[in-house]
Amino acid sequence: MVDEIDRTLISLLQDDATRSYATLGQAVGLSSGAAHERVRKLRERGVIRRTTIEVDQAALGRTVTAYVLVDSDTWMGDSGAALAAIPDIEEAHVIAGQASVLLKVRTSATRELQDVLRRVFEVDGVSGTRSAVVLETFFERTLT
Amino acid sequence: MVDEIDRTLISLLQDDATRSYATLGQAVGLSSGAAHERVRKLRERGVIRRTTIEVDQAALGRTVTAYVLVDSDTWMGDSGAALAAIPDIEEAHVIAGQASVLLKVRTSATRELQDVLRRVFEVDGVSGTRSAVVLETFFERTLT
DNA sequence: ACTGAAAATTTCCGCTC
DNA sequence: GAGCGGAAATTTTCAGT
Protein backbone atom coordinates (compact mmCIF):
# COMPACT_ATOMS: atom_id res chain seq x y z
CA MET A 1 0.00 0.00 0.00
CA VAL A 2 2.29 2.73 1.36
CA ASP A 3 5.90 1.61 1.22
CA GLU A 4 9.05 3.13 2.63
CA ILE A 5 9.59 5.37 -0.40
CA ASP A 6 6.05 6.72 -0.14
CA ARG A 7 6.60 7.50 3.53
CA THR A 8 9.77 9.38 2.76
CA LEU A 9 8.03 11.38 0.05
CA ILE A 10 5.17 12.21 2.41
CA SER A 11 7.58 13.27 5.11
CA LEU A 12 9.51 15.52 2.76
CA LEU A 13 6.33 17.13 1.44
CA GLN A 14 4.97 17.66 4.94
CA ASP A 15 8.10 19.58 5.73
CA ASP A 16 7.95 21.62 2.52
CA ALA A 17 5.38 20.99 -0.17
CA THR A 18 7.08 23.36 -2.59
CA ARG A 19 9.93 20.91 -3.16
CA SER A 20 10.32 20.06 -6.83
CA TYR A 21 9.73 16.53 -8.07
CA ALA A 22 13.33 16.50 -9.22
CA THR A 23 14.49 17.06 -5.64
CA LEU A 24 12.03 14.53 -4.27
CA GLY A 25 13.15 11.97 -6.80
CA GLN A 26 16.79 12.46 -5.90
CA ALA A 27 16.03 11.99 -2.22
CA VAL A 28 14.46 8.58 -2.78
CA GLY A 29 16.51 7.45 -5.76
CA LEU A 30 13.88 7.91 -8.45
CA SER A 31 13.54 10.14 -11.50
CA SER A 32 11.36 13.21 -11.24
CA GLY A 33 8.70 11.52 -13.36
CA ALA A 34 8.59 8.46 -11.12
CA ALA A 35 8.46 10.61 -7.98
CA HIS A 36 5.64 12.61 -9.50
CA GLU A 37 3.72 9.43 -10.28
CA ARG A 38 4.10 8.23 -6.69
CA VAL A 39 2.79 11.49 -5.29
CA ARG A 40 -0.06 11.58 -7.82
CA LYS A 41 -1.22 8.15 -6.68
CA LEU A 42 -0.96 9.10 -3.01
CA ARG A 43 -3.25 12.03 -3.75
CA GLU A 44 -5.61 9.90 -5.80
CA ARG A 45 -5.91 7.37 -2.99
CA GLY A 46 -6.55 10.09 -0.46
CA VAL A 47 -3.44 9.43 1.62
CA ILE A 48 -2.47 12.99 0.75
CA ARG A 49 -5.67 14.95 1.25
CA ARG A 50 -4.52 18.30 -0.05
CA THR A 51 -1.69 20.77 -0.29
CA THR A 52 -2.15 23.74 1.98
CA ILE A 53 -0.37 26.52 3.82
CA GLU A 54 0.21 26.74 7.55
CA VAL A 55 -0.84 30.14 8.82
CA ASP A 56 0.22 31.97 11.96
CA GLN A 57 -3.26 32.43 13.41
CA ALA A 58 -2.03 35.03 15.88
CA ALA A 59 -0.85 37.18 12.97
CA LEU A 60 -4.43 37.13 11.67
CA GLY A 61 -5.84 38.18 15.01
CA ARG A 62 -6.82 34.80 16.44
CA THR A 63 -4.88 35.05 19.68
CA VAL A 64 -7.14 32.98 21.91
CA THR A 65 -7.09 29.18 21.73
CA ALA A 66 -9.27 27.08 24.00
CA TYR A 67 -10.38 23.49 24.39
CA VAL A 68 -13.98 22.95 25.40
CA LEU A 69 -15.25 19.75 26.96
CA VAL A 70 -18.93 19.42 26.20
CA ASP A 71 -21.16 17.42 28.52
CA SER A 72 -24.47 16.12 27.22
CA ASP A 73 -27.54 14.36 28.45
CA THR A 74 -28.26 12.63 25.15
CA TRP A 75 -26.24 11.01 22.36
CA MET A 76 -24.45 13.64 20.32
CA GLY A 77 -23.37 11.46 17.41
CA ASP A 78 -25.48 13.53 15.02
CA SER A 79 -24.35 16.94 16.20
CA GLY A 80 -21.42 17.31 13.83
CA ALA A 81 -23.25 19.60 11.40
CA ALA A 82 -24.60 21.83 14.16
CA LEU A 83 -21.10 22.28 15.53
CA ALA A 84 -19.57 22.80 12.10
CA ALA A 85 -21.94 25.74 11.66
CA ILE A 86 -20.10 27.61 14.41
CA PRO A 87 -17.22 29.23 12.54
CA ASP A 88 -14.61 29.56 15.28
CA ILE A 89 -14.55 25.83 16.06
CA GLU A 90 -11.47 24.33 14.45
CA GLU A 91 -11.92 20.72 15.58
CA ALA A 92 -14.75 18.65 17.05
CA HIS A 93 -14.36 15.09 18.27
CA VAL A 94 -16.64 12.61 20.01
CA ILE A 95 -14.69 11.21 22.92
CA ALA A 96 -14.91 8.38 25.42
CA GLY A 97 -14.50 9.59 28.96
CA GLN A 98 -16.10 12.11 31.27
CA ALA A 99 -17.42 14.42 28.57
CA SER A 100 -19.10 13.66 25.23
CA VAL A 101 -17.45 16.01 22.80
CA LEU A 102 -14.17 17.90 22.72
CA LEU A 103 -13.81 21.13 20.76
CA LYS A 104 -10.80 23.16 19.77
CA VAL A 105 -11.76 26.80 19.44
CA ARG A 106 -9.80 29.79 18.14
CA THR A 107 -11.06 33.33 18.57
CA SER A 108 -9.77 36.88 18.53
CA ALA A 109 -10.61 37.47 22.20
CA THR A 110 -12.25 35.89 25.20
CA ARG A 111 -15.38 37.84 24.36
CA GLU A 112 -15.74 35.82 21.17
CA LEU A 113 -15.02 32.64 23.08
CA GLN A 114 -18.06 33.43 25.17
CA ASP A 115 -20.13 33.80 22.01
CA VAL A 116 -18.99 30.38 20.86
CA LEU A 117 -19.93 28.83 24.20
CA ARG A 118 -23.38 30.40 24.01
CA ARG A 119 -23.91 28.86 20.59
CA VAL A 120 -22.60 25.49 21.75
CA PHE A 121 -25.20 25.52 24.53
CA GLU A 122 -27.89 25.89 21.87
CA VAL A 123 -26.92 22.58 20.26
CA ASP A 124 -29.29 19.72 21.08
CA GLY A 125 -28.28 17.62 24.04
CA VAL A 126 -25.63 19.93 25.45
CA SER A 127 -25.93 20.12 29.23
CA GLY A 128 -22.70 21.86 30.13
CA THR A 129 -19.21 22.91 29.08
CA ARG A 130 -15.82 23.13 30.74
CA SER A 131 -13.25 25.29 29.01
CA ALA A 132 -9.48 25.21 29.20
CA VAL A 133 -7.89 28.32 27.76
CA VAL A 134 -4.43 27.84 26.28
CA LEU A 135 -1.78 29.95 28.04
CA GLU A 136 1.17 28.77 25.97
CA THR A 137 1.50 26.36 23.08
CA PHE A 138 4.63 24.24 23.44
CA PHE A 139 4.21 22.88 19.92
CA GLU A 140 1.73 21.93 17.21
CA ARG A 141 3.53 19.73 14.74
CA THR A 142 2.91 17.25 11.98
CA LEU A 143 3.71 13.66 12.85
CA THR A 144 5.85 11.81 10.38
CA MET B 1 -0.33 44.87 7.79
CA VAL B 2 -2.56 42.14 6.39
CA ASP B 3 -5.22 43.68 4.21
CA GLU B 4 -8.30 42.22 2.57
CA ILE B 5 -6.39 41.07 -0.51
CA ASP B 6 -3.83 39.25 1.66
CA ARG B 7 -6.62 37.51 3.51
CA THR B 8 -8.20 36.35 0.28
CA LEU B 9 -4.88 35.04 -0.98
CA ILE B 10 -4.31 33.20 2.30
CA SER B 11 -7.75 31.69 2.18
CA LEU B 12 -7.30 30.51 -1.40
CA LEU B 13 -3.91 28.99 -0.61
CA GLN B 14 -5.24 27.27 2.49
CA ASP B 15 -7.84 25.61 0.34
CA ASP B 16 -5.32 24.61 -2.33
CA ALA B 17 -1.71 25.71 -2.22
CA THR B 18 -1.03 24.37 -5.73
CA ARG B 19 -2.97 27.24 -7.31
CA SER B 20 -0.86 29.19 -9.79
CA TYR B 21 -0.01 32.82 -9.16
CA ALA B 22 -1.86 33.69 -12.34
CA THR B 23 -5.06 32.20 -10.89
CA LEU B 24 -4.49 33.86 -7.54
CA GLY B 25 -3.91 37.20 -9.22
CA GLN B 26 -7.12 36.91 -11.21
CA ALA B 27 -9.10 36.16 -8.07
CA VAL B 28 -7.98 39.36 -6.38
CA GLY B 29 -7.58 41.58 -9.43
CA LEU B 30 -3.79 41.63 -9.57
CA SER B 31 -1.19 40.46 -12.04
CA SER B 32 0.55 37.16 -11.38
CA GLY B 33 3.71 39.03 -10.50
CA ALA B 34 1.97 41.21 -7.94
CA ALA B 35 0.19 38.21 -6.41
CA HIS B 36 3.53 36.44 -6.19
CA GLU B 37 5.07 39.43 -4.45
CA ARG B 38 2.23 39.55 -1.91
CA VAL B 39 2.59 35.87 -1.08
CA ARG B 40 6.38 36.15 -0.91
CA LYS B 41 6.07 38.89 1.68
CA LEU B 42 3.50 36.97 3.70
CA ARG B 43 6.00 34.12 3.86
CA GLU B 44 8.85 36.43 4.71
CA ARG B 45 6.89 38.00 7.55
CA GLY B 46 5.93 34.57 8.89
CA VAL B 47 2.19 34.99 8.39
CA ILE B 48 2.46 31.99 6.08
CA ARG B 49 4.67 29.58 8.02
CA ARG B 50 5.12 26.94 5.37
CA THR B 51 3.49 25.05 2.54
CA THR B 52 2.65 21.51 3.53
CA ILE B 53 0.44 18.53 2.74
CA GLU B 54 -2.46 17.29 4.79
CA VAL B 55 -2.12 13.57 5.35
CA ASP B 56 -4.78 10.99 6.21
CA GLN B 57 -3.17 9.70 9.41
CA ALA B 58 -5.39 6.62 9.48
CA ALA B 59 -4.03 5.61 6.06
CA LEU B 60 -0.56 5.64 7.61
CA GLY B 61 -1.63 3.44 10.48
CA ARG B 62 -2.30 6.08 13.14
CA THR B 63 -5.85 5.06 13.95
CA VAL B 64 -5.94 6.09 17.60
CA THR B 65 -6.30 9.73 18.58
CA ALA B 66 -6.49 10.79 22.22
CA TYR B 67 -6.37 13.93 24.30
CA VAL B 68 -4.47 13.71 27.56
CA LEU B 69 -4.98 16.12 30.44
CA VAL B 70 -1.81 16.21 32.49
CA ASP B 71 -1.97 17.14 36.18
CA SER B 72 1.16 18.36 37.88
CA ASP B 73 2.36 19.31 41.31
CA THR B 74 4.88 21.84 40.06
CA TRP B 75 5.10 24.44 37.33
CA MET B 76 5.46 22.79 33.93
CA GLY B 77 6.36 25.83 31.88
CA ASP B 78 9.76 24.36 31.06
CA SER B 79 8.55 20.89 30.08
CA GLY B 80 8.05 21.61 26.39
CA ALA B 81 11.28 19.97 25.28
CA ALA B 82 10.69 16.85 27.39
CA LEU B 83 7.26 16.42 25.84
CA ALA B 84 8.50 17.16 22.33
CA ALA B 85 10.88 14.23 22.74
CA ILE B 86 7.92 11.85 22.82
CA PRO B 87 7.27 11.23 19.14
CA ASP B 88 3.55 10.42 19.15
CA ILE B 89 2.55 13.71 20.75
CA GLU B 90 1.19 15.99 18.05
CA GLU B 91 0.34 19.01 20.20
CA ALA B 92 1.16 20.17 23.70
CA HIS B 93 -0.35 23.23 25.36
CA VAL B 94 -0.15 24.80 28.80
CA ILE B 95 -3.71 25.49 29.88
CA ALA B 96 -5.56 27.39 32.55
CA GLY B 97 -8.08 25.22 34.33
CA GLN B 98 -8.14 21.96 36.24
CA ALA B 99 -5.11 20.40 34.58
CA SER B 100 -1.74 21.94 33.68
CA VAL B 101 -1.04 20.64 30.21
CA LEU B 102 -3.16 19.27 27.39
CA LEU B 103 -1.71 16.84 24.85
CA LYS B 104 -3.00 15.58 21.54
CA VAL B 105 -1.65 12.11 20.89
CA ARG B 106 -1.85 9.92 17.78
CA THR B 107 -0.79 6.28 17.86
CA SER B 108 -1.29 3.11 15.90
CA ALA B 109 -3.05 1.34 18.75
CA THR B 110 -4.08 1.72 22.37
CA ARG B 111 -0.98 -0.24 23.31
CA GLU B 112 1.19 2.59 22.01
CA LEU B 113 -1.00 5.11 23.78
CA GLN B 114 -0.10 3.37 27.00
CA ASP B 115 3.59 3.71 26.14
CA VAL B 116 3.11 7.44 25.62
CA LEU B 117 1.38 7.79 28.98
CA ARG B 118 4.22 5.93 30.69
CA ARG B 119 6.72 8.36 29.20
CA VAL B 120 4.58 11.37 30.12
CA PHE B 121 4.62 10.18 33.73
CA GLU B 122 8.41 10.29 33.64
CA VAL B 123 8.39 14.02 32.87
CA ASP B 124 9.24 16.20 35.89
CA GLY B 125 6.27 17.42 37.84
CA VAL B 126 3.63 15.14 36.33
CA SER B 127 1.36 13.81 39.04
CA GLY B 128 -1.42 12.28 36.97
CA THR B 129 -3.14 12.02 33.60
CA ARG B 130 -6.69 11.72 32.36
CA SER B 131 -7.16 10.50 28.82
CA ALA B 132 -10.05 10.98 26.43
CA VAL B 133 -9.89 8.64 23.45
CA VAL B 134 -11.47 9.95 20.27
CA LEU B 135 -14.33 7.77 19.05
CA GLU B 136 -15.23 9.85 16.02
CA THR B 137 -13.83 13.03 14.55
CA PHE B 138 -16.61 15.32 13.31
CA PHE B 139 -14.11 17.61 11.63
CA GLU B 140 -10.60 19.02 11.74
CA ARG B 141 -10.52 22.07 9.53
CA THR B 142 -8.53 25.18 8.80
CA LEU B 143 -10.14 28.41 9.94
CA THR B 144 -10.30 31.17 7.37
C1' DA C 1 10.13 3.36 -14.02
C1' DC C 2 12.92 6.13 -17.24
C1' DT C 3 13.91 9.56 -21.15
C1' DG C 4 13.21 13.62 -23.73
C1' DA C 5 10.59 17.27 -25.51
C1' DA C 6 6.54 20.38 -25.10
C1' DA C 7 3.71 23.13 -22.02
C1' DA C 8 3.07 25.62 -18.00
C1' DT C 9 4.70 28.03 -14.07
C1' DT C 10 7.77 30.47 -11.25
C1' DT C 11 10.97 33.98 -10.77
C1' DC C 12 13.30 38.03 -12.01
C1' DC C 13 13.93 42.32 -14.43
C1' DG C 14 13.29 47.24 -15.88
C1' DC C 15 9.64 50.51 -16.03
C1' DT C 16 5.52 53.13 -14.38
C1' DC C 17 2.37 55.00 -11.06
C1' DG D 1 6.16 50.98 -1.91
C1' DA D 2 3.16 48.44 -5.05
C1' DG D 3 2.09 46.84 -9.42
C1' DC D 4 2.74 45.73 -14.39
C1' DG D 5 4.41 43.14 -18.43
C1' DG D 6 7.62 40.40 -20.57
C1' DA D 7 11.76 37.34 -20.68
C1' DA D 8 14.58 33.71 -18.65
C1' DA D 9 14.99 29.72 -15.77
C1' DT D 10 12.81 25.95 -13.75
C1' DT D 11 9.30 22.65 -13.17
C1' DT D 12 5.50 19.90 -14.62
C1' DT D 13 3.38 17.08 -17.94
C1' DC D 14 3.00 13.68 -21.40
C1' DA D 15 4.51 11.01 -25.17
C1' DG D 16 6.97 6.56 -26.13
C1' DT D 17 10.03 2.85 -24.47
- pLDDT 10s digits, A24-59: 999 999 999 999 999 999 999 999 999 999 999 999
> Is there a contact between A45 and B53 if contact means CB atoms under 8 Å apart?
no
Query: CB neighbours of A128 closer than 8 A, spacing ≥ 6?
Result: A70, A71
Q: Which pLDDT value is given to residue B62?
A: 97
Q: Which pLDDT value is given to residue B1?
A: 86
The distance of A26 to chain B (nearest Cα, Å) reads: 19
> Is there a contact between A94 and B139 if contact means CB atoms under 8 Å apart?
no
As a whole number of angstroms, the longest Cα–Cα distance in chain A is 58
Q: Are B62 and B105 in contact (CB under 8 A)?
A: no
Which amino acid belongs to residue B144?
A: T
CATH code for the part of the protein at B57-133: 3.30.70.920
Query: What value does the mean pLDDT take over residues A124-139?
Result: 96
Q: Which pLDDT value is given to residue A97?
A: 82
A31 touches strand C (CB under 7 A): yes
Q: Which pLDDT value is given to residue B125?
A: 94
pLDDT tens-place string over residues B68-97 = 999 999 999 999 999 999 999 999 999 998
- Rounded alpha-carbon distances, angstroms, from residue A94 to A41, A73, A83, A140: 31, 14, 12, 21
Residue B15 Cα to chain centre, angstroms: 16
> Is there a contact between A52 and B2 if contact means CB atoms under 8 Å apart?
no
- Inform me whether the pLDDT recorded for B58 exceeds 90: yes
A32 touches strand C (CB under 7 A): yes
Q: Percent of chain A beyond pLDDT 70? A: 100
Q: Which pLDDT value is given to residue A1?
A: 85
In which residue ranges of chain A is CATH 3.30.70.920 found? 57-133
- Inform me whether the pLDDT recorded for A14 exceeds 90: yes
- Inform me whether the pLDDT recorded for A99 exceeds 90: no
Query: What value does the mean pLDDT take over residues A64-92?
Result: 97
Query: What value does the mean pLDDT take over residues A125-129?
Result: 96
Fold of A4-44: Arc Repressor Mutant, subunit A (1.10.10)
Interface-testing mutation among B53, B65, B105, with chain A (most A C-beta atoms within 10 A): B53
Average pLDDT value over all residues in chain B = 96
Q: Are B67 and B131 in contact (CB under 8 A)?
A: yes
Residue B123: strand, helix, or coil: coil
Q: Percent of chain A beyond pLDDT 90? A: 97
Q: Which pLDDT value is given to residue B114?
A: 98
Give the pLDDT band (50/70/90) at residue B98.
confident
Average pLDDT value over all residues in chain A = 96
Among positive and negative, which fits the CA dihedral A76, A81, A86, A87?
positive
Query: CB neighbours of B125 closer than 8 A, spacing ≥ 6?
Result: B72, B73, B74, B75, B76, B79, B100
Q: Is the pTM of this model over 0.85?
A: yes
Interface-testing mutation among A9, A40, A52, with chain B (most B C-beta atoms within 10 A): A52
The distance of B46 to chain A (nearest Cα, Å) reads: 7
Q: Which pLDDT value is given to residue A92?
A: 98
